[in-house]
């Protein structure tokens, strides 16, 4: 169980976060400057909240009410950062052995060999960090973090400096390590694909606040606000006008589109933000009763395409395969239930750290 409540001012930036989860893989996700790394630093003990409570599996690391503040070196938080943090003058084995928990005293070589084997670096014990690739350095950093017998691994965008194929392998290997060592994870990223893969719980931050918490599937399909919708890839955020509400359905007009979605009744004439995921936009042959659209851009990737449509002046993205040609005139439809009414964004913000 991970329970975090932290309020902290850093210059003009205000961090005010609160979340609790029973899941063992937790991802802090959001744009740059949202407060993700600062939240992780509060958990690790390198930043001290003005008030709050931090607890992992029943162990209280920080509590402002009782003046509890366990120092970082006693928290057993295995930290891996984006920047390489290995000691350049020590070998791979010496880097890993440096942080070994006292319980391994007298058995250091065996434990170091076990950890390096776990991260796929058998035979690298005598190499220097300067002789390693970026991916190999981060594998050593993972072994170094595991050497402390951590109660949680805290990883701050650790794979962003390596190229895409290496990043994919490191993600898969990390999941295997978590299972093998049965250690919880707190992971920071601004990549929702990474959050979706690694997280059981995703905590979405914006401007120093938690704006949504849920499973990756939940936040992807049901973003709470327009900010969250854009962050998780629901690119079509529209302004809708409520035409009718009855029998659990809300009918809205968004430009030339008429949308029907489930939800509580809303007052007729109200203007509300609405999101539609690109994969829910259907492209049909041109003609009634569908609104007419023109294809203004086609972006192809991995056999699928994102098509940008102009629907009587309204810009709309659709994910389709195969893609219609650029400049084609088509019909467009959003199935009933595909649109989602969003809550207004919180106008208050914490600035940037």
The pLDDT profile of the chain, 353 residues, written as one tens digit per residue, is 999 999 999 999 999 999 999 999 999 999 999 999 999 999 999 999 999 999 999 999 999 999 999 999 999 999 998 877 899 999 999 999 998 888 888 889 999 999 999 999 999 999 999 999 999 999 999 999 999 899 999 999 999 888 889 999 999 999 999 999 999 999 999 999 999 999 999 999 999 999 999 999 999 999 999 999 999 988 899 999 999 998 899 999 999 999 999 989 999 999 999 999 999 999 999 999 999 999 999 998 776 789 999 999 999 999 998 889 999 999 999 999 999 999 988 755 555 55
Whole-prediction pTM value? 0.90
Helix (H) or strand (E) holding 226: helix 226-231
What pLDDT score was predicted for residue 257? 95
What pLDDT score was predicted for residue 105? 85
Tokens of residue 262, six digits: 């489930």
What pLDDT score was predicted for residue 70? 98
Long-range contacts of 313-317 (CB under 8 A, 24+ apart): 313/255, 314/238, 314/254, 314/255, 314/256, 314/257, 316/236, 316/276, 316/281, 317/235, 317/236, 317/278, 317/281
Tokens of residue 280, six digits: 């829910």
Question: What is the distance in angstroms between the CA of the first residue and the CA of the last residue of the chain?
Answer: 28
How do strand 185-189 and strand 152-156 relate by DSSP bridges?
parallel
What pLDDT score was predicted for residue 85? 81
Tokens 């401007």 belong to 207
Could you give the angle at the alpha carbon of 193 between the alpha carbons of 275 and 278, nearest 5°?
30
Tokens of residue 194, six digits: 């990474």
Long-range contacts of 104-113 (CB under 8 A, 24+ apart): 104/147, 111/147, 112/143, 112/147
What pLDDT score was predicted for residue 350? 55
What pLDDT score was predicted for residue 2? 97
C-alpha closest to that of 11 among 304, 266, 350: 350
Could you give the angle at the alpha carbon of 308 between the alpha carbons of 335 and 342, nearest 5°?
50
Which phi and psi (to 5°) does residue 255 adopt?
Answer: 60, -130
The helix/strand/coil state of 54 is strand
b/e sequence 317-351, b meaning 16+ C-beta within 10 Å:
bbbbeebbeeeeebbbbbeeebbbbbeebeeeebe
Half-sphere exposure of 85 (CA within 13 A, CB side): 17
b/e sequence 149-172, b meaning 16+ C-beta within 10 Å:
bbebbbbbbbbeebeeebbeebbe
What pLDDT score was predicted for residue 147? 92
């Amino acid at each position: 169980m991970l329970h975090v409540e932290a309020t902290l001012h850093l210059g003009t930036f205000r961090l005010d976060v609160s979340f609790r989860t029973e899941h063992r893989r937790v991802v802090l996700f959001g744009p740059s400057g949202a407060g993700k790394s600062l939240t992780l630093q509060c958990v690790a003990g390198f930043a001290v909240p003005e008030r709050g409570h931090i607890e992992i599996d029943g162990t209280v690391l920080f509590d402002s009410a009782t003046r509890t503040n366990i120092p970082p070196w006693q928290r057993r938080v295995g930290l891996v950062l984006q920047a390489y943090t290995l000691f350049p003058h020590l070998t791979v084995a010496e880097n890993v052995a440096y942080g070994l928990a006292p319980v391994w005293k007298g058995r250091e070589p065996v434990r170091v060999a076990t950890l390096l084997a776990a991260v796929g670096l058998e035979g690298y014990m005598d190499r220097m960090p300067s002789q390693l690739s970026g991916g190999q350095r981060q594998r050593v950093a993972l072994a170094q973090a595991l050497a402390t017998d951590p109660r949680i691994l805290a990883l701050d965008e650790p794979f962003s400096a390596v190229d895409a194929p290496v990043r994919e392998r490191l993600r898969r290997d990390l999941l295997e390590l978590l299972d093998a060592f049965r250690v919880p994870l707190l992971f920071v990223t601004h990549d929702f694909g990474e959050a979706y893969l690694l997280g059981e719980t995703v905590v979405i931050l914006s401007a120093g606040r938690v704006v949504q918490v849920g499973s990756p599937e939940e936040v992807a399909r049901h973003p709470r606000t327009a900010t969250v919708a854009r962050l998780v890839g629901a690119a079509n955020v529209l302004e809708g006008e409520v035409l009718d509400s009855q029998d659990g359905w809300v009918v809205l007009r968004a430009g030339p589109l008429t949308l029907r979605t489930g939800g509580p009744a809303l007052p007729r004439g109200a203007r509300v933000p609405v999101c539609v995921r690109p994969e829910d936009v259907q492209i049909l042959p041109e003609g009634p009763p569908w609104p007419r659209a023109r294809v203004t851009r086609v972006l192809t990737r991995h056999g699928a395409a994102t098509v940008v449509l102009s629907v009587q002046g309204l810009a709309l993205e659709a994910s389709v395969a195969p893609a219609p040609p650029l400049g084609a005139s088509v019909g467009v439809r959003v199935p009933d239930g595909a649109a989602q009414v969003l809550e207004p964004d919180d106008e208050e913000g914490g600035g940037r750290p």
